């Protein structure tokens, strides 16, 4: 399932430490979505619902917390998700 993914956005998501957001790779666009976890606005709720409805098939969660992710970290994540 190799696709064209925005590796810069994946790297930034892997490095993210703000617990107020979750990051998901959109397999259709190759872009990373920044999803606000604590925002109760209708737009934020609609985005969360869209991601959860397509989770696994269209969207893949990107765990953050790596202060300096390398290209190898990106490759490892893509491989673990079955995207290489």
Tokens of 82: 């079955």
Q: What is the pTM of this model?
A: 0.92
The pLDDT value recorded for residue 75 is: 96
Stretch 32-38: mean pLDDT: 96
Domain range list for the chain: 7-73
Q: Report the pLDDT value the prediction gives residue 48, as an integer from 0 to 100.
A: 97
The answer for 65, left when phi > 0, alpha when psi is -120 to 50, beta otherwise, is left
**pLDDT tier, 16 (very low <50, low <70, confident <90, very high otherwise):** very high
List beta partners, residue 41.
none
């Amino acid at each position: 399932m190799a696709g064209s993914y925005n590796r810069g956005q994946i790297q930034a998501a892997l490095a993210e430490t703000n617990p107020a957001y979750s990051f998901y790779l959109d397999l259709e666009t190759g872009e990373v979505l920044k999803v606000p976890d604590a925002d109760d606005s209708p737009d934020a709720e609609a985005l969360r619902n869209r991601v959860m409805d397509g989770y696994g098939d269209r969207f893949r969660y990107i765990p953050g917390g790596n202060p300096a992710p390398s290209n190898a970290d990106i490759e490892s994540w893509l491989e673990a998700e079955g995207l290489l």
